[in-house]
Amino acid sequence: MSVDQTDITKVALLARLEIDEADVPQYVDNLSNILALVEQMNEVDTDRVVPMAHPLDAAQRLRPDEVTEVDQRDRFQALAPQVEAGLYLVPKVIE
């Protein structure tokens, strides 16, 4: 399957990724080539195969619902681009 410019623009929107207008044709080429490689999967009949999500087919481990983490808000927020009064700041969302 190949993709076109509309697909690239749509996927970039879904991925929240700004892409230069000028680079779109290159993405069309690259993604089409990669998808052509991926298409080889269709040569195999997998109707009765059970999907493998984990290499060792392990189940997710559970633990008691206990508080194990300590509050490190100040430490983590020291890394943030913009904070105020313990809150992460972003541009106004609700008018």
Partner 1 sequence: MHTKTIAQLSAALRSGEISSVELTTLFLARIKQHNPALNCYISITEAQALEAAATADRRLKEGDATPLTGIPIAHKDIFCTEGVKTTCGSKMLDNFIAPYESTCTAKFAAAGAVMLGKSNMDEFAMGSSNETSYYGAVKNPWDQGRVPGGSSGGSVAAVAARLAPAATGTDTGGSIRQPAALCGLTGLKPTYGRVSRYGMIAFASSLDQAGPVTYSAEDAALLMNVMAGFDERDSTSVEREVPDYTAELTNSIEGLKIGLPKEYFDGGLDDSIARVIESAIQAYEALGAVVKEISLPNTALAVPTYYVVAPAECSTNLSRFDGVRFGHRCDDPKDLFDLYTRSRGEGFGAEVKRRIMIGTYVLSAGYYDAYYLKAQKIRRLISEDFRAAFETVDVIMGPTAPSTAFKLGEKADDPVTMYLSDIYTIAVNMAGLPAASIPAGFVDGLPVGLQVIGNYFEESRLLNVAHQYQQATDWHLQVPAEFQ
Q: Which residues bind partner 1 (CB under 8 A)?
A: 3, 7-8, 11-12, 14-19, 27, 30-31, 33-35, 37-42, 44, 46, 49-56, 58, 60-61, 63, 72, 75-76, 78-82, 88, 90-93
Rg (CA), the chain: 22
Distance CA 80, CA 88 (A): 7
- Nearest approach, Cβ of 76 to partner 1 (angstroms)? 6
Note whether 39 and 16 are within 8 A (CB): no
Conformational region of residue 86, where left means phi above 0, alpha means psi within -120 to 50, and beta covers everything else: left
- Nearest approach, Cβ of 17 to partner 1 (angstroms)? 5
- Nearest approach, Cβ of 55 to partner 1 (angstroms)? 2
